[in-house]
Amino acid sequence: MQSYPLTVDKFLDHAAKWTGDRQVVTAGAGRISYAALRARSNRLSGALGHLGLAFGDRVATLAWNTQHHVELYYAAMGAGLVCHTLNPRLTAAHLAAMINEAEDRVLAVAANLAPMLEALLPLCPGLKHIVMIDEAAGEPPGWASPHAARGWELEALLEAHGRPVTWGGFDEESPAGLCYTSGTTGMPKGVLYTHRSNYLHTLRGLQADAFGLTAADAVLVAVPMFHANGWGLPFAAPAVGANLILPGRHQDGASLAKLMREERVTVAAGVQTVWLGVVDHLDAVGGDLPDLKRVIIGGSSCPDALIRRLEERLGARVQTSWGMTELSPLGTVAPPDAPASAVRASGRPPIGLDLKLTDAEGVTLPQQRNVVGHLKVKGASVVDRYYKAEADSLDSEGYFDTGDLARIDEAGNLTLCGRSKDLIKSGGEWINPAEIEDIVGRHPTVGQVAVIGRTDPKWGERPVLIVAARQGHAVDAQTLLNALRGKVADWWLPDQIVQIGVMPLAATGKIDKIKLRADYVSGEGVMARSDS
Say whether 135 sits in a helix, a strand or coil: coil
Helices (H), 57-138: 67-78, 92-102, 117-120
Give the pLDDT score at 185. 47
Answer yes or no: are the C-beta atoms of 290 and 217 closer than 8 Å. no
Instruction: Give CA torsion, residues 400, 401, 403, 408, to 10 deg.
Output: 90
Give the pLDDT score at 140. 52
Q: Are strands 175-180 and 190-194 parallel, antiparallel or unpaired?
A: antiparallel
Helices (H), 62-206: 67-78, 92-102, 117-120, 154-161, 195-205
Give the pLDDT score at 139. 53
Answer yes or no: are the C-beta atoms of 296 and 322 closer than 8 Å. no
Angle formed by the axes of helices 67-78 and 9-18, nearest 10°: 120
List, in order of start, the domains of the chain with CATH numbers. 9-18+30-180 (3.40.50.12780), 250-420 (3.40.50.12780), 423-520 (3.30.300.30)
Give the pLDDT score at 266. 98
Rounded Cα–Cα distance for residues 330 and 530 (Å) = 37
168-196 core/surface letters (b: 16 or more CB in 10 A; e: else): beeebebbbbbbbbbbbeeebbbbbbbbb
Rounded Cα–Cα distance for residues 405 and 418 (Å) = 5
Q: Is residue 356 flagged as an active site residue?
A: no
Give the pLDDT score at 101. 96
Active-site annotation holder among 425, 429, 479, 491: 425
Spacing of C-alpha 60 from chain mean position: 18
Active-site annotation holder among 139, 430, 479, 515: 430
Rounded Cα–Cα distance for residues 237 and 146 (Å) = 43
Residues 6+ apart with CB under 8 A from 250: 27, 28, 256
Give Dmax (Cα) for the chain.
70
The residue among 377, 375, 374, 370 whose CA lies nearest residue 359 is 374
Spacing of C-alpha 77 from chain mean position: 20
Rounded Cα–Cα distance for residues 281 and 258 (Å) = 10
Q: Are strands 58-62 and 294-298 parallel, antiparallel or unpaired?
A: unpaired
Active-site annotation holder among 19, 85, 181, 332: 181
Answer yes or no: are the C-beta atoms of 173 and 5 closer than 8 Å. no
Answer yes or no: are the C-beta atoms of 494 and 465 closer than 8 Å. yes
Rounded Cα–Cα distance for residues 19 and 258 (Å) = 26
Q: Is residue 513 flagged as an active site residue?
A: no
Residues present in the chain in total:
532
Rounded Cα–Cα distance for residues 504 and 348 (Å) = 30
Cis peptide preceding 504, ω within 30 of 0: no
Rounded Cα–Cα distance for residues 447 and 303 (Å) = 10
Say whether 424 sits in a helix, a strand or coil: strand
Q: Is residue 515 flagged as an active site residue?
A: no
Residues 6+ apart with CB under 8 A from 337: 317
Q: Is residue 326 flagged as an active site residue?
A: yes
The residue among 188, 84, 221, 178 whose CA lies nearest residue 507 is 188
Rounded Cα–Cα distance for residues 135 and 112 (Å) = 8
Residues of the chain where predicted confidence (pLDDT) is lower than 50: 142, 184-185, 523-532
Residue 443 to residues 173, 191, 468, Cα–Cα distance (Å): 48, 38, 12
Rounded Cα–Cα distance for residues 206 and 333 (Å) = 11
Residue 530 to residues 221, 468, 477, 498, Cα–Cα distance (Å): 34, 9, 12, 7
Rounded Cα–Cα distance for residues 451 and 94 (Å) = 27
Residue 141 to residues 61, 130, 432, Cα–Cα distance (Å): 18, 12, 48
Contacts of the segment 136-143: beta carbons below 8 A, 24+ positions apart: 136/111, 137/111, 137/112, 140/109, 140/114, 140/115, 141/114, 141/115, 141/117, 142/117, 142/118, 143/117
